[in-house]
Amino acid sequence: MASVAFIGLGNMGGPMAANLIKAGHQVKVFDLNPAAVEALMAQGAGSGACAQEIAKDADVVVSMLPAGKHVRGLYLGTESAKGLIDVVKAGCLLIDCSTIDAASARTVAEAAAANGLEFIDAPVSGGTAGAAAGTLTFICGGTDKAFEAAKVVLSNMGANIFHAGGPGAGQVAKICNNMLLSVLMVGTSEALSLGIDHGLDPKVLSDIMKVSSGGNWTLEKYNPCPGVMENVPSSKGYQGGFMVDLMVKDLGLSQEAALGSQSSTPMGALARSLYVSHARGGNGKLDFSSIFEHFAKGE
């Protein structure tokens, strides 16, 4: 069992840290939200006054933060705080599970390597339910050595662990996946809305499409039409799950990456435009499957 410093206890990070505690690791946590820290302490975690304090003696650091600037600040330092790469002990493994731009991940990995440390970008897929159940998918970028070491800890939080390539590769694979997911969700939503507008029962239509050539993950696991599937956000007022604002962020990353490589992503660009419009309509905190309402209500 490892000594783990876990930084970032939001909707995803909190349950992930809890699973490390359940697995028997010695976990110390830090977050700017005191309530999030207290919730993990009640489950057996230690804490500290800052990220640097809990990380200095850790075998492994795991971070789950909102954006690239936060990850760079944590590991590389800011005007007011040292970066973790200058604080942790020799041999400490650095794992960032945030979804950020690949350039930031590569920058941190290069700085860590210059200090003799291994850094791996390991963004996740599986949502809050997967985080709680410990069934997340980790999409990793880093050296072979870092990946093998990271699997020991990641296996306590997820069911599928992939090595996509070198530093930054995990981030590229993650944004490709989420871009495709957004396109599938938009297409499924407009197809269901078309059927409803012509008097079809959305559950019957979903059952037909699931086993036909239009079948996809959103129909099988995450139907966007309220009342069709139990225990998904669409049947809970679009609460929980993966927020529209986060999908907008990921689609922005996908389009930045497309510009950098001169890749053609017209469907991804259209999906981003639709989700931005949906967010501006006051839906940013709803689950991303709420894009169904964009079509169902004729917005």
Question: Which residues does the annotation mark as catalytic?
Answer: 174
Asked if 20 and 46 touch (Cβ cutoff 8 Å), the reply is: no
Q: Residue 2 CB: number of other CB atoms within 10 A?
A: 17
Length of the chain: 299
Q: Residue 273 CB: number of other CB atoms within 10 A?
A: 12
Could you tell me the two tokens for 111? 């700085």
Q: Tokens 């870092």 belong to which residue?
A: 146
47: Cβ contacts below 8 Å, ≥ 6 apart: 28, 29, 30, 37, 40, 41, 54
Per DSSP, the residues of 11-27 read: TTHHHHHHHHHHTT-EE
171: Cβ contacts below 8 Å, ≥ 6 apart: 99, 100, 101, 102, 105, 121, 123, 141, 253
